[in-house]
Structure 1
Amino acid sequence: MTKLRIGLLGTGPWAGYTQAPALAAHPEAEFTGVWGRRPEAAATLADTHGVKAYDDVDALIEASDAIAFALPPDVQAPLAARAAAAGRHLLMDKPVATTVAGAREVATAAAETGVASVVFCTMRFAAGTAPWIAEQAAAGGWLTAHAQWLGSLYAADSDSPFAASPWRREKGGLWDVGPHALSVLLPVLGDVTGLTALRGSADTVHLALRHASGASSTATLSLSTPQAASGTAVELVGERGRVAMPLGGDAIGSFRSAVDALIESARSGDAHACDVRFGLRITEILAEAEERLA
Structure 2
Amino acid sequence: MCGVDQLRVGLVGGGPWARNVHGPGLAAHPATEITAVWTRRPEVAGELAAEFGGRACDRLDDLLDDVDVVAFAVPPQVQGPLAVRAAAAGRHLICEKPLAGSVEDARAVVTAVQRAGVHSSMVLTLRHSPAVREWLAGLPSAPAGPDTVASARWLSGALLGGPYSASSWRIEHGALLDLSPHVIDLLEAAVGPVASVGWAHHDEPDLWRYGLVHEGGARSTVTMSMRLPIDPTETEFAVFGPGTPHRLAGRTADASTCYAALLDELVAAVAGTGPTPALGVERGLRLQELIEQVRATAG
TM-score norm. by structure 2 comes to 0.92
CA contact (8 A) 2:266 2:276 kept: no
Q: C-alpha distance in 1, partners of 2:29/2:140?
A: 29
Q: C-alpha distance in 2, partners of 1:26/1:137?
A: 34
Counterpart position of 1:289: 294
Q: C-alpha distance in 2, partners of 1:35/1:134?
A: 39
Counterpart position of 1:166: 168
Aligned runs of 1:78-89 on 2, under 5 Å? 78-89=81-92
Aligned runs of 1:53-68 on 2, under 5 Å? 53-68=56-71
Q: C-alpha distance in 2, partners of 1:34/1:293?
A: 40
Counterpart position of 1:275: 280
Q: C-alpha distance in 1, partners of 2:233/2:33?
A: 37
Counterpart position of 1:180: 182
TM-score norm. by structure 1 comes to 0.94
Aligned runs of 1:122-271 on 2, under 5 Å? 122-136=125-139, 138=141, 141=144, 143-155=148-160, 159-195=161-197, 196-228=199-231, 230-245=233-248, 247-268=251-272, 270-271=275-276
Q: Does 1:72 align with 2:75?
A: yes
Deviation at 1:288, TM superposition (A): 1.3
Flag structure 1 segments of 5+ consecutive residues without an equivalent: none
The structure where helix makes up a greater share of residues is 1
Deviations 1:105-154 (A, max 9, x none): 00111111111111011101122213322443647656111001212123
Classify the secondary structure of the residue corresponding to 2:287: helix
Q: C-alpha distance in 2, partners of 1:77/1:135?
A: 36
Deviation at 1:177, TM superposition (A): 0.6
Q: C-alpha distance in 1, partners of 2:53/2:91?
A: 23
Counterpart position of 2:96: 93
CA contact (8 A) 1:137 1:187 kept: no
Q: C-alpha distance in 1, partners of 2:6/2:138?
A: 31
Higher relative contact order (CA 8 A, sep 6+): 1
Deviations 1:238-272 (A, max 9, x none): 11221112543421121111111111222237322
Instruction: State the identity %.
Output: 38
Tell me how large the CA RMSD over aligned residues is: 1.7
Q: C-alpha distance in 2, partners of 1:267/1:50?
A: 23
Deviation at 1:282, TM superposition (A): 0.3
